[in-house]
Amino acid sequence: MNPMISDTMPMQPAEQHGRPSTLFRICRKMWHLKMGVMGGIILAVMLVFAVAAPLIAPHDPYEQNIIQRLLPPSFMENGSDRHLLGTDGVGRDTLSRIIYGTRVSLIVGLSAVCIQVGIGVILGLMAGYFGGRTDSVISFMVNVMMGFPFILFAISLVAVIGPSLQNIIFALGVTGWPVFTRVTRVETIKLKESEFVLCAITLAFSTKRILLVHILPNLLPAILVLGTVEVARAIIRESLLSFLGLGIQPPTPSWGMMLAEGRDYMLGEWWLAAFPGFAIFLSALGINLLGDALRDLVDPHMRKD
């Protein structure tokens, strides 16, 4: 064999590991964007469902009808055209309950993340900027929260303070902040040494001003991206609490609780568990896709690979 060829052969696959072609990158970017748009559409639909539920839902989500109970979805045998996704154990319309359930999911997801961001970002800024003892104390708190299994913390908290919409938001809020503290802290430490922050000090600006006007705006993209993903997580966690019976109390429609009720019927009426779970999955997926696209748009360096 020609030594020239044998020398160059192994290099060829190596090309593949180098940068992908520009065309490929554009395609990939487009794909990402497309996924992001899809995520945005899912979130938009959720928002519309939540706001305009009474207009969209075909039935009253609380109206029981024992005669029409456990109807299968309309595409199945014996399904009724009046109930697209069938009815539950007391004859309530599943589709209407799912549409109304968007409210709980969105309210809990968004409010819980607001609390998480509030606590997490303030603590992260303080730990990163002041360093020293402040940092030690806050980092210790983060370690404690991370060592406390979320699920046990949240369910025992709810068990103690009682299951209600506000308490669930509170429980998810006070258990979920450490991620934000971690990210904010690391970024603040980096920014603290940057020349424009040093400059703000020499311009005799107050610490509050430096933190809020000079450092915080530079963290917002990272917080936004993380916040999006955390909304999805909070929605899943809310439904988990409801699933365990420690969440939203009946009869308010919540996806997690519908899933828990559906579980009792899973041997026969599988759709009762399938549809609400799919709603949770789809909304979390949509929000995650949006977050992924945002990450790409906001900062190319933050890409996961």
Binding to another protein (CB under 8 A) within 144-203 occurs at: 144, 146-152, 155-157, 159-161, 194-196, 198-203
- CB nearer another protein, residue 227 or residue 277: 277
Q: Does 245 bind another protein (CB under 8 A)?
A: yes
Query: CA-based Rg of the chain, rounded to a whole angstrom?
Result: 25
Q: Does 239 bind another protein (CB under 8 A)?
A: yes
Longest dimension (CA), the chain: 84
SS3 51: helix
Q: Does 38 bind another protein (CB under 8 A)?
A: no
Burial of 1 (0-12, 13-18, 19+ CB in 10 A): exposed
- CB nearer another protein, residue 76 or residue 152: 152
**β-sheet bridge partners, residue 130:** none
- Best CA proximity match to 128, nearest among 207, 46, 64, 50: 207
Q: State in angstroms the smallest separation of the CB of 63 from another protein.
A: 26
Number of residues that bind another protein (CB under 8 A): 76
- CB nearer another protein, residue 155 or residue 168: 155
Q: Does 13 bind another protein (CB under 8 A)?
A: yes
Beta carbons within 8 Å of 242's beta carbon, 6+ residues apart: 248, 254, 255, 256, 257, 259, 260
Q: Does 20 bind another protein (CB under 8 A)?
A: yes
Q: Does 132 bind another protein (CB under 8 A)?
A: no
Q: State in angstroms the smallest separation of the CB of 255 from another protein.
A: 9
**β-sheet bridge partners, residue 25:** none
Question: How far are the Cα atoms of 41, 62, 223, 274, 293 from residue 265, in angstroms, in the given order?
Answer: 32, 19, 41, 11, 38
**Which residues in 66-125 contact another protein (CB under 8 A)?**
none
Q: Does 218 bind another protein (CB under 8 A)?
A: yes
Among 70-78, 82-90, 111-119, 256-264, which window interacts with another protein (CB under 8 A)? Answer: 256-264
Q: State in angstroms the smallest separation of the CB of 140 from another protein.
A: 7
**Which residues in 277-296 contact another protein (CB under 8 A)?**
277-278, 280-282, 284-285, 287-289, 292
- CB nearer another protein, residue 166 or residue 194: 194
Q: State in angstroms the smallest separation of the CB of 27 from another protein.
A: 9
Ranges of H-type helices in the chain: 3-8, 11-17, 22-51, 53-56, 94-130, 132-147, 150-161, 165-176, 178-192, 195-202, 207-209, 216-243, 255-263, 271-298
Q: Among 169, 214, 230, 248, which residue interacts with another protein (rule: CB under 8 A)?
A: 214
Question: How far apart are the C-alpha atoms of 282 and 243, rounded to whole Å?
Answer: 17
Q: Among 164, 209, 250, 251, which residue interacts with another protein (rule: CB under 8 A)?
A: 209
Question: How far apart are the C-alpha atoms of 191 and 82, rounded to whole Å?
Answer: 59
Among 20-28, 106-114, 123-131, 165-173, which window interacts with another protein (CB under 8 A)? Answer: 20-28
Burial of 31 (0-12, 13-18, 19+ CB in 10 A): exposed
- CB nearer another protein, residue 111 or residue 239: 239
